Structure 1
């Protein structure tokens, strides 16, 4: 049976694509009642996508909390489309546990009736019937839990199933278990080439691709050339940890690991408990019992220490108090000020002052005796500090003891000076981990975590202010902004506290060692070894046949290795987003240029292409705040983006005339 002529193709059906399907249904009245086909294209699991697929090990967990993730809109989302509420991840877990095992009835009754009704509208995913361990997780998950990635994938597949039930009867859906290999404009309309040899002729295509391949950096290309064909080297290249070939790293052998963010913690878990080791709870933390299959990991990063652990609040994190930054945003909006923001001149100071105030408010609540003035007087003193370098000197008379004053420089550069041996540096990092875990356990009682939470939380406001043409190229690419975003990630997007406790246990067991900050990397072709050393640690040189890159490269349109993006770029259908410098010169960025509200791509001539939208990670450099999963009641950029692109696609569909030149397209029909 031939498909209706009108069609929209969605390429990439992970959580973001799922949200777009939900928004297509919510805004379906915009299609004008025409019959049309929705083509869903993904070579991984529909709904979950590659990163969140439901067949992966349950050892890998989300970096966010169960009660802080949703794929449904709520009244807080700034958008033109209608609000269709549904259960967040935690609520869905509660309702699913009750439905499958009759447990958690009290928790289920607390879920709003409208959300319970949505839950009843779609069947639970088959994986919950096939993996009892996932149902076990449903039973024990709390709002502050870090769910497994597979569980989030199950939630997302259920949201997709629900979203499909909300599509009107004039819409037919076709699933294509394939990868898009190209998108071409033929007589002004898109054609999507698939890896199975089929081509879809459609009115509109929405690209929601997630993490994409990019060309090697100069350093990576040099490493690749040097070790090509030499079996003595094992290089596990940057990728999602679940897709990295960690089996190439042999048991008992040394491996150099670059990166200490979330990718590292996942890699660490896969190479330890993933190989049969186990952690035992003891009086002062955890003890690791090795299986004998683990490698010995020597780890480095720019700062030389792992990301800081998330705080344990016994619930969802409190909202950071940022009076100065919030006032700047509000005053700018009230004045209708659209002039480019200078991060270093206009934003860095209020963020730093807000962080200091957060420290002192938290400290004052517990130890008011250490202050010689009131909090109001201290806050006023902070506002008088035009020179941020002079904050400590200004507050010295108000908070006399140095251990009671916030040391931002030490927080941003924790390693500081020189260490005289690898053993001493390992011991120092272990103590750093212990102190950080202690502060995490204090929750809202930790002045340090309160101050650092400001930096982590401020990233959203900053990203929204600087998005698109919100700042100059000089400010965006400047050191102050780059250092802030990196530091905000380190203190605000760190691992669950239990992962840091595991790292400490692995350090004590001799499984993990720390090379030092900004370690060099060389390739010794005579010995067949990678060689790494840090100038901050005497005698830190490490030699290993294995190198693991524990991160994922950000996409760059100019260096994309993805065939769809590369083809559109080479055809002039897309271009890099440019920010203008202070001198008036356009400076290309890493993101693909798009319209702000519709996500329609901008072609080489500067014209919006009505029939192609692009969302997510390939545009994060210009849109900002769009990588993380959306939070409830937070006006998530992710959900704003999904609604805008759905409405734009439906608008294009409605305006497209039936063309005799377009032939019915083929598809391979499969079902979730």
Structure 2
């Protein structure tokens, strides 16, 4: 007879960055002794806490950060930013574990190790091993494969350290969990076993079902159903022999199948577009030649091979995301040095909350944000060209912005009047207009629009390269800082649901993403060169993608450009799958909703009508699933993207040194879940969790 033991088993479903952070937080709690639990008593007859790490993708990096992906893919943040474990100032809020390293710290340590061990006495320096991405500085934008190497290292280190703790075992299984349901005690998981290496002795025996006591969902990006137009284009492709690429993770798109020399219609010019752009050019053997004597925006010349497809791209604004400023790379908080929030202060937000109970974005928050944007823009401009301003302008502007009773329209009218009086050669800065740079304009030909776009890209590159000397990019930096504060307020439940739906998701999200979440300057320089080379062409604002059954082609055109519609056999969606649990094609997520173990969070719009949110309905921190019957919350913890109904904007990584209420929120979520797991109830069982 097996001996009685009070063993608990925890299934971690998803071993990418969020899952790895959970394990690291578990390790920190144990090592620091901040959480005591029976599982760590010495002399137990068998392990007390069994952690089952389950993911078909590589454990640590997951699918998105797979170290084997193309080195052409870059991160969207400088190397100093990302981390999956507390680093720097964050460690004053979350205790470090023995494995706590940021990406930059890991890279520096590995560079030092290689330097110390690879240079021989005769001065010979062997080549750097292919497994480690060396070089670069904290201000460069590293490859996504390099970040995957870091995640692989961190996951391995954390799991090894956990396994050394008394009473804890960690087991890995490369499998997909297709179903999760309640059992008589705990939960039963159904697995579709997909081992990566049949000879992997560390992997437990194949099992169709596992019983566990608690579950942590760290799923990341999951397959999603298509919207109406996506389903239509899919049907058209089957009927007419065309090619449609739905939204997908870039590493899972076959860009090599795009035909050389043919039109490829592209919908979306966000971050996925830049991955497509580089794969369709450098990925086809092309190269960029740098002319260092030319101004920013004109420094690269593209040398084509003739194997490139002709990309015809469109988005609602008509332009791609703006490049990040070079002023961002050395600043804490991922905002330019010297930018601070004067109007959008904790005191101002608290005062609005006292008066109005619940914060409304347009009424209470946006006016404060806009004032900080204006203050930053004009202060930067005054420093650069003081001769444009009469004495007393700064004081007059501060007085105008201090009047919080002025609405946006009145503020603009009085601001324009102030400029006419004290700075007649200076225009009023409207941050919203940056989100629609060609709004209200029409173009007489496709060629004319390409000329405007070339000028736009060159200007964007120039302002990004100017760093702190660009009033526009400094103002965008202030907008980004304010966005981080809004994220924290939403996570704390202090912003009304109706304004989240109609205002933040309705227009602000698109504005701030397009301005502050763009690619590194390098990508805009490359796009400008590809535009000059004729590899990339732009449709124009508010493009219409359709099909012409008479000709048998997809079509695309812009109502703002007087030009015939483009035709193509290929249509590609340059965007990620929709992050909405009700659209999920993941068997696990769909099954959770169908069985009632989970439900979408219900939000109420401005009319008072309920509508399903994007993410799961969960408890306050630590986030546990709330079942359909509204009974006791499940022992199922949620991390990451599926929290999108209680958190706005999930970053690709936590910020090294960031605050746990904003830019390092994912680490706080993981920490809360880890502590809850360690202090959770211990059930008496016989032997090991059931395996059939």
Mark yes or no: TM-score above 0.5.
yes
1:408 has 2:427 as partner:
no
What's the secondary structure of 2:448's corresponding residue?
A: helix
Moved more, 272-281 or 212-221: 212-221
State the match for 1:151 in structure 2.
146
1:465-476 aligned at under 5 Å gives the runs 465-467=489-491, 469-476=493-500
1:380 has 2:360 as partner:
no
Does structure 2 conserve the Cα–Cα contact (< 8 Å) formed by 1:236 and 1:245? no
Distance 1:329 1:613 in 2: 34
What's the secondary structure of 1:257's corresponding residue?
A: strand
Does structure 1 conserve the Cα–Cα contact (< 8 Å) formed by 2:53 and 2:173? yes
Seen in structure 2, the aligned counterparts of structure 1 residues 302 and 26 have a Cα distance that, compared at 3 Å, is same
State the match for 1:649 in structure 2.
677
Among 209, 213, 217, the alignment partner of 1:207 is: 217
1:292 has 2:292 as partner:
no
What's the secondary structure of 2:685's corresponding residue?
A: coil
Seen in structure 2, the aligned counterparts of structure 1 residues 363 and 134 have a Cα distance that, compared at 3 Å, is farther
What's the secondary structure of 1:406's corresponding residue?
A: coil
Distance 1:131 1:578 in 2: 53
Give how far 1:606 is off: 2.4
What's the secondary structure of 1:84's corresponding residue?
A: coil
Seen in structure 2, the aligned counterparts of structure 1 residues 518 and 132 have a Cα distance that, compared at 3 Å, is farther
State the match for 2:256 in structure 1.
247
Q: State the Cα RMSD in Å.
A: 2.7
State the match for 1:193 in structure 2.
190
State the match for 1:638 in structure 2.
666
What's the secondary structure of 1:184's corresponding residue?
A: strand
State the match for 1:47 in structure 2.
60
Could you state the TM-score of these two structures normalised by the residue count of structure 2?
A: 0.87
Does structure 2 conserve the Cα–Cα contact (< 8 Å) formed by 1:378 and 1:398? no
State the match for 1:118 in structure 2.
none
Does structure 2 conserve the Cα–Cα contact (< 8 Å) formed by 1:574 and 1:603? yes
Moved more, 267-276 or 338-347: 338-347
What's the secondary structure of 1:543's corresponding residue?
A: strand
Seen in structure 2, the aligned counterparts of structure 1 residues 4 and 38 have a Cα distance that, compared at 3 Å, is farther
Does structure 1 conserve the Cα–Cα contact (< 8 Å) formed by 2:601 and 2:612? yes
Q: String of CA shifts for 1:180-208, please: whole Å, max 9, x gaps.
A: 11111112511121112522211111010
Could you state the TM-score of these two structures normalised by the residue count of structure 1?
A: 0.89
Distance 1:315 1:446 in 2: 16
1:659 has 2:656 as partner:
no
Q: String of CA shifts for 1:304-338, please: whole Å, max 9, x gaps.
A: 001101111363443541211124566359x7899
Among 567, 588, 591, the alignment partner of 2:615 is: 591
Distance 2:610 2:443 in 1: 44
Among 366, 370, 379, the alignment partner of 1:348 is: 366
Give how far 1:535 is off: 0.3
Give how far 1:289 is off: 0.7
**How many residues matched?**
637
Uncovered stretches (5+) of structure 1, i.e. residues with no partner: 106-128, 668-672
State the match for 2:159 in structure 1.
164
State the match for 2:229 in structure 1.
219
Seen in structure 2, the aligned counterparts of structure 1 residues 443 and 559 have a Cα distance that, compared at 3 Å, is same
1:85-484 aligned at under 5 Å gives the runs 86-102=100-116, 132=129, 135=132, 137-139=133-135, 141-167=136-162, 168-196=165-193, 198-228=208-238, 230-231=240-241, 233-282=242-291, 283-284=293-294, 285-313=299-327, 315-316=330-331, 317-318=335-336, 320-328=339-347, 331=350, 339-372=357-390, 373-384=392-403, 386-390=406-410, 391=412, 392-397=415-420, 399-403=422-426, 405-416=428-439, 417-467=441-491, 469-479=493-503, 482-484=506-508
What's the secondary structure of 2:109's corresponding residue?
A: helix
Uncovered stretches (5+) of structure 2, i.e. residues with no partner: 41-47, 120-125, 194-206
Among 25, 28, 33, the alignment partner of 2:39 is: 33
Give how far 1:588 is off: 2.0
State the match for 1:9 in structure 2.
11
Distance 1:288 1:6 in 2: 59
Give how far 1:615 is off: 1.2
Does structure 1 conserve the Cα–Cα contact (< 8 Å) formed by 2:622 and 2:673? yes
